[in-house]
Amino acid sequence: MATVKFVKRVGLDPYLPEETIEEILLRLPHESLITFKLVSKSWYNLIKSDYFIRKNLDHHHHNNATITTALILARNSDFPSFIKSPQHIIPISWVNHIDDHDHSLRIHSLKQLNLPPNPSELLVKGLHCNGIICFPYKYKSKIIFCNPTLRQCKILDTPVLPKFLFIAHGFGYDKRTNLYKYVMISLSTPSNSNSTFRVQICSLSTTTSSCSSNTWREIDIEPYKNVLVSPHHEGVYFKSFYYWIIHGIKIKGIISFDMCSEKFSIISPPQIEEKIYRPIKLTVWKEELVLFTRNRESLLCVPSFSLDMWVMVVNNDITSSNNGSNSWRKHLTISLTEWYVFYSPLDFWNHEELLIKPSNEAMVSYNIRTKKIRRLDISKYWSRLTLYSKSLVSFNN
């Protein structure tokens, strides 16, 4: 077995079978693994290896459907798109315990990140993949990649594109090459009907032996050079693809980017009336891609909002002419008007609980089955949240 050969190669302690040692380590909390790297050189080599890190990711992904760790961020009141100060980007966790008598989720602060200088220049739109969160800097000249579990940060310089404006970005994993990829989308200025896009990609490796790590290159995006990706909506990474909402006049829907083939494709939106189609959020639920759309109706001259949750259905029938095509299934409608006039979905932290940010209120967790609401025990000024899974992935090797 490859597993046994690898464990023997790094020289684990012989008092237990190699497979047993590895299986025990895989099941330990990440914080314990960080400590256990100091037990011996052989354990250090195993826990730091790409082999173990990938297996650890797979183990926790398949055995834990709940995410209870996140970064909370406060906007700068003068510049709402940016983080307020170093003290306003904090890792938190909450207890994975649902009690019908609880009306709030109790929050615990984790160890502060080791942030580089001037974190107030970071955008609040953090992207997450395999335990790594990335933020662009205010003037888009740099990107910071953080692993809150390891408390590590890496800064990457970005290419300068004269007469082009940064409008969207993506971050994901190419499982074929074992490389992480950051995608930067820029729009020519001034913006008009003839504007075009440019896409740069940087590949990042978790090993020092990779020759392609930290290198930027431009890719051809024909025939999508005139497709407008909305800068107002974050995308989402899911199963080797990154997805963004298209906010164009001629084309509406979702644009996807394959991290392996580095190709774009268009996904049609749900079949709803164009005048009421207001896509606002892409996220992942139960290993499926979800799109939230907002409906607005007038009720006694008071705006009434509801959210429709659409699940993307992929046709995998190889005998069908529609094999590989996508459609949308409406799963439910969320209406919280009796509590909040305006609210935005954030992310699912388990199969039933959706985090929501009401206007001028603290974040809440909404149970889509019971419709019960629990408030997060944080101030309403913490306006953004990025969920992340704990991992041992590091770009600082």
**C-alpha span between 396 and 205 (Å, rounded):** 9
- pLDDT higher than 50, residue 40: yes
- pLDDT higher than 50, residue 275: yes
Q: How far out from the chain centre does Cα 65 lie?
A: 15
**C-alpha span between 180 and 178 (Å, rounded):** 7
Confidence of residue 378 (pLDDT cuts 50, 70, 90): confident
Burial per residue of 198-237, b for 16 or more beta-carbon CB atoms within 10 angstroms, e otherwise: bbbbbbbbbeeebeebeeeeeeebeebeebbbbbebbbbb
- Tens digits of per-residue pLDDT, 50-71? 899 999 999 888 877 778 888 8
- pLDDT higher than 80, residue 279: yes
> Over the chain, what is the mean pLDDT?
79
With a CB cutoff of 8 Å and minimum separation 6, the contacts of 179 are: 173, 203, 204, 205, 210, 212, 213
Average of per-residue pLDDT across 106-123: 69
Question: Which has more confidence, 84 or 368?
Answer: 368
Confidence of residue 122 (pLDDT cuts 50, 70, 90): low
Q: Describe the crossing of helices 41-48 and 2-10 by its angle, rounded to 10 degrees.
A: 140
- pLDDT higher than 70, residue 169: yes
Domain boundaries defined on the chain: 49-77+87-389
Superfamily classification of domain 49-77+87-389: Kelch-type beta propeller (2.120.10.80)
Percent of the chain scoring above 90 in pLDDT: 26
Question: Which has more confidence, 65 or 333?
Answer: 333
Question: What integer pLDDT is reported at residue 69 of this predicted model?
Answer: 86
- Tens digits of per-residue pLDDT, 200-244? 999 999 875 555 567 899 998 877 766 767 655 679 999 999 999
The CB density around residue 136, as the number of other CB atoms within 10 Å, is 22
**C-alpha span between 162 and 21 (Å, rounded):** 54
Average of per-residue pLDDT across 62-89: 68
**C-alpha span between 251 and 169 (Å, rounded):** 19
- pLDDT higher than 90, residue 181: yes
Look at strands 152-157 and 142-147 and give their pairing.
antiparallel
3-state secondary structure the chain: CHHHHHHHHHCCCCCCCHHHHHHHHHHCCHHHHHHHCCCCHHHHHHHHCHHHHHHHHHHHHHHCCCCCEEEEECECCCCCCEECCHHHEEEEEECCCCCCCCCEECEEECCCCCCCCCHHHEECCCEEECCEEEEEECCCCEEEEEECCCCEEEEEECCCCCCEEEEEEEEEEECCCCEEEEEEEEEECCCCCCCCEEEEEEEEECCCCCCCCCEEEEECCCCCCCCCECCCCCCEEECCEEEEEEECCCCEEEEEEECCCCCEEEECCCCCCHHHCCEEEEEEECCEEEEEEEEEEEECCEEEEEEEEEEEEECCCCCCCCCCCEEEEEEEEECCCCCCCCEEEEEECCCCEEEEEECCCCCEEEECCCCCEEEECCCCCCCEEEECCCCCCCCCC
Question: Which has more confidence, 21 or 11?
Answer: 21
Confidence of residue 37 (pLDDT cuts 50, 70, 90): confident
Q: Which amino acid is at 397?
A: N
